[in-house]
A and B are shown apart, each in its own frame.
Chain A
Amino acid sequence: MLSRTADHLFWMARYMERAENTARMLDVNYQTSLLPQSADAVVNGWKGLLSISELSPDYASRYGEIDARKVMDYMVSDERNPSSIYSCLMAARENARAVRGTLTTEVWETQNQTWLEFQRMLRHKTFQKDPGEGFEWVKFRSHLSRGVTVGTMLQDEAFHFLRIGSFLERADNTARMLDVKFHAVESEFFGTGAANGNGNAKDQEYDFYHWSAILRSVSGFEVYRKAYRNVIKPEKVAELLILRADMPRSLAACMDEVVNNLRQVANEQSSDTLRRAGRLQADLRFGRIDEILATGLHAFLTQFLERVGTLGVGISRDFLVPVAA
Chain B
Amino acid sequence: MRASFDEMQASSTTVRDHYRVYDRWLAQQPGDVMRSRREEAEMIFRRVGITFAVYGAKDEDGSGTERLIPFDLIPRVIPAAEWASMEAGLRQRVTALNRFIHDVYHGQEIIKAGIVPGDQIFKNAQFRPEMMGVDVPGSVYSHISGIDIVRAANPDGSGSYYVLEDNLRVPSGVSYMLENRKMMMRLFPDLFSQHRVAPVAHYPDLLLETLRAVAPAAVNDPTVVVLTPGMYNSAYFEHAFLAQQMGVELVEGQDLFVKDNFVYMRTTQGPKRVDVIYRRVDDDFLDPLAFRPDSTLGCAGLLSVYRAGNVTLSNAIGTGVADDKSVYPYVPKMIEFYLGEKPILNNVPTWQCREAEDLKYVLAHLGELVVKEVHGAGGYGMLVGPAASKDEIADFRKALEANPAGYIAQPTLSLSTCPTFVDSGIAPRHIDLRPFVLSGKTVQMVPGGLTRVALKEGSLVVNSSQGGGTKDTWVLEA
Quick one: which of A5, A94, A105 contacts B249, CB cutoff 8 A? A5
Chain B residues, CB < 8 A from A157: 268
- Asked if A109 contacts B231 (CB within 8 A), the reply is no
- Asked if A1 contacts B268 (CB within 8 A), the reply is yes
| Bound Cα distance A100, B252 (Å) | 14
Quick one: which of B46, B231, B266, B269 contacts A97, CB cutoff 8 A? B231
B293 at the interface (CB under 8 A from A): no
- Asked if A2 contacts B47 (CB within 8 A), the reply is no
Chain B residues, CB < 8 A from A105: 48
Segment of B108-116, B236-244, B281-289, B303-311 engaged in the interface with chain A: B236-244
A36 at the interface (CB under 8 A from B): no
B13 at the interface (CB under 8 A from A): no
- Distance of A278 from chain B, by nearest CB (Å): 19
Which secondary structure dominates where chain B touches chain A?
Answer: mixed
As a 0/1 sequence over residues 225 to 253 of chain B, the CB contacts with chain A under 8 angstroms (1 = contact) are 00000110000100011011000011110
- Distance of A274 from chain B, by nearest CB (Å): 14
As a 0/1 sequence over residues 379 to 423 of chain B, the CB contacts with chain A under 8 angstroms (1 = contact) are 000000000000000000000000000000000000000000000
| Bound Cα distance A5, B240 (Å) | 12
- Asked if B268 contacts A116 (CB within 8 A), the reply is no
* Beyond A101-B250, A112-B48, 10 additional pairs, beta carbon < 8 A: A1-B267, A2-B266, A3-B255, A97-B49, A101-B240, A105-B48, A109-B47, A109-B48, A112-B49, A113-B47
Closest chain A residue to B46, Cβ basis: A116
B interface with A by C-beta (< 8 Å): 46-49, 61, 63, 230-231, 236, 240-241, 243-244, 249-252, 254-255, 265-270
Closest chain B residue to A270, Cβ basis: B268
Chain A residues, CB < 8 A from B267: 1-3
- Distance of A57 from chain B, by nearest CB (Å): 27
Closest chain B residue to A8, Cβ basis: B231
As a 0/1 sequence over residues 153 to 169 of chain A, the CB contacts with chain B under 8 angstroms (1 = contact) are 00001000100000000
- Distance of A154 from chain B, by nearest CB (Å): 12
Quick one: which of B61, B244, B268, B269 contacts A101, CB cutoff 8 A? B244
- Asked if B255 contacts A4 (CB within 8 A), the reply is yes
As a 0/1 sequence over residues 101 to 117 of chain A, the CB contacts with chain B under 8 angstroms (1 = contact) are 11001001100110010
- Distance of B42 from chain A, by nearest CB (Å): 12
A141-198 contacts to B, CB under 8 A, are 157, 161
A88-103 contacts to B, CB under 8 A, are 94, 97-102
Identify the interface centre among A4, A113, A157, A267: most chain B CB within 10 Å of its CB: A4
- Asked if A100 contacts B268 (CB within 8 A), the reply is no
As a 0/1 sequence over residues 184 to 217 of chain A, the CB contacts with chain B under 8 angstroms (1 = contact) are 0000000000000000000000000000000000
- Distance of B296 from chain A, by nearest CB (Å): 14
| Bound Cα distance A2, B269 (Å) | 9
- Asked if A268 contacts B268 (CB within 8 A), the reply is no
A81 at the interface (CB under 8 A from B): no
Chain A residues, CB < 8 A from B250: 5, 99, 101
| Bound Cα distance A267, B271 (Å) | 12
- Distance of A82 from chain B, by nearest CB (Å): 18
Chain A residues, CB < 8 A from B269: 1, 267
- Asked if B266 contacts A116 (CB within 8 A), the reply is no
A interface with B by C-beta (< 8 Å): 1-6, 94, 97-102, 105, 108-109, 112-113, 116, 119, 123, 157, 161, 265, 267-268, 319-320
Assuming A109-B47, A113-B47, is B231 touching A4 (CB within 8 A)? no
Chain B residues, CB < 8 A from A119: 61, 63
- Asked if B254 contacts A98 (CB within 8 A), the reply is no
| Bound Cα distance A14, B231 (Å) | 20
- Asked if A265 contacts B268 (CB within 8 A), the reply is yes
- Asked if B231 contacts A94 (CB within 8 A), the reply is yes
| Bound Cα distance A319, B268 (Å) | 5
- Asked if A101 contacts B241 (CB within 8 A), the reply is yes
Closest chain A residue to B252, Cβ basis: A4
A-B contact pairs, 23 of them (CB 8 A): A1-B267, A2-B249, A2-B266, A3-B267, A3-B268, A4-B266, A97-B49, A98-B230, A98-B231, A100-B240, A101-B241, A105-B48, A109-B48, A112-B47, A112-B48, A116-B47, A119-B61, A119-B63, A157-B268, A161-B268, A267-B268, A267-B269, A267-B270
| Bound Cα distance A320, B265 (Å) | 13
Chain A residues, CB < 8 A from B48: 105, 109, 112
| Bound Cα distance A319, B270 (Å) | 9
Identify the interface centre among B243, B265, B267: most chain A CB within 10 Å of its CB: B267
- Distance of B53 from chain A, by nearest CB (Å): 11
Identify the interface centre among B48, B49, B249: most chain A CB within 10 Å of its CB: B49
- Distance of B6 from chain A, by nearest CB (Å): 38
Chain A residues, CB < 8 A from B236: 97
- Asked if B265 contacts A100 (CB within 8 A), the reply is no
| Bound Cα distance A100, B231 (Å) | 10
Identify the interface centre among A6, A102, A123: most chain B CB within 10 Å of its CB: A102
Closest chain A residue to B250, Cβ basis: A101
Assuming A2-B267, A3-B255, A119-B63, is B47 touching A101 (CB within 8 A)? no
| Bound Cα distance A299, B367 (Å) | 81
Give me the 3 closest cross-chain CB pairs, A-B, nearest first: A101-B244, A101-B240, A3-B266
| Bound Cα distance A257, B265 (Å) | 29
Assuming A3-B266, A3-B267, is B255 touching A101 (CB within 8 A)? no
- Asked if A2 contacts B49 (CB within 8 A), the reply is no
| Bound Cα distance A98, B265 (Å) | 17
| Bound Cα distance A40, B266 (Å) | 54
Chain B residues, CB < 8 A from A108: 49
- Asked if B255 contacts A100 (CB within 8 A), the reply is no
Identify the interface centre among B47, B236, B240, B268: most chain A CB within 10 Å of its CB: B268
- Distance of A117 from chain B, by nearest CB (Å): 10
| Bound Cα distance A146, B287 (Å) | 40
Chain B residues, CB < 8 A from A116: 46-47
Chain A residues, CB < 8 A from B270: 267-268
| Bound Cα distance A91, B35 (Å) | 34
| Bound Cα distance A145, B473 (Å) | 36
Identify the interface centre among B61, B231, B243, B252: most chain A CB within 10 Å of its CB: B231
| Bound Cα distance A194, B312 (Å) | 71
| Bound Cα distance A268, B243 (Å) | 28
| Bound Cα distance A161, B269 (Å) | 13
- Distance of A31 from chain B, by nearest CB (Å): 31
Closest chain B residue to A110, Cβ basis: B47
- Asked if A2 contacts B244 (CB within 8 A), the reply is no
Closest chain B residue to A158, Cβ basis: B268
| Bound Cα distance A2, B230 (Å) | 14
Chain A residues, CB < 8 A from B249: 1-2, 5
